[in-house]
Amino acid sequence: MSSPNAHTPTAENAEHACHYCGTTEKDDLRPYGPGGSWVCFPCATATPEREQQAKNAFGALLDGAAAMSPDNAVMIGTEQGPRPVNLSAPPAGGDGRG
């Protein structure tokens, strides 16, 4: 693996790093930082200002996700933040039986 200049700003494979402390090792990074940047939970709640910022970002994502779902249903607790859920449609992806 020798790719010295493999800096691609794609969200897919980019490693998430906390906006404040820069950690990439936390499992609880969430896109609730300024401008949708990633923040870890300890940093997001470190100050009242950050906590409010995170709440605002969460609320905006929640509203946006709910607006995208035909059932106004939102799944939370995922790494990507709130995501729209289509309760009428079958779950995506193959059934992993067997």
**Binding-site size, Zn ion (CB under 5 A):** 5
74 binds Zn ion (CB under 5 A): no
43 binds Zn ion (CB under 5 A): yes
Report the distance separating Cα 34 and Cα 48, nearest Å.
Answer: 14
Closest separation in Å from C-beta 28 to Zn ion: 10
Angle at 52 between CA 83 and CA 26, to 5 degrees: 60
20 binds Zn ion (CB under 5 A): yes
29 binds Zn ion (CB under 5 A): no
| Contacts by 62-71, CB closer than 8 A, 24 or more apart | none
| CB-CB contact of 55 with 36 (8 Å) | no
Closest separation in Å from C-beta 22 to Zn ion: 7
14 binds Zn ion (CB under 5 A): no
Report the distance separating Cα 16 and Cα 79, nearest Å.
Answer: 10
Chain contacts with Zn ion (rule: CB under 5 A):
18, 20-21, 40, 43
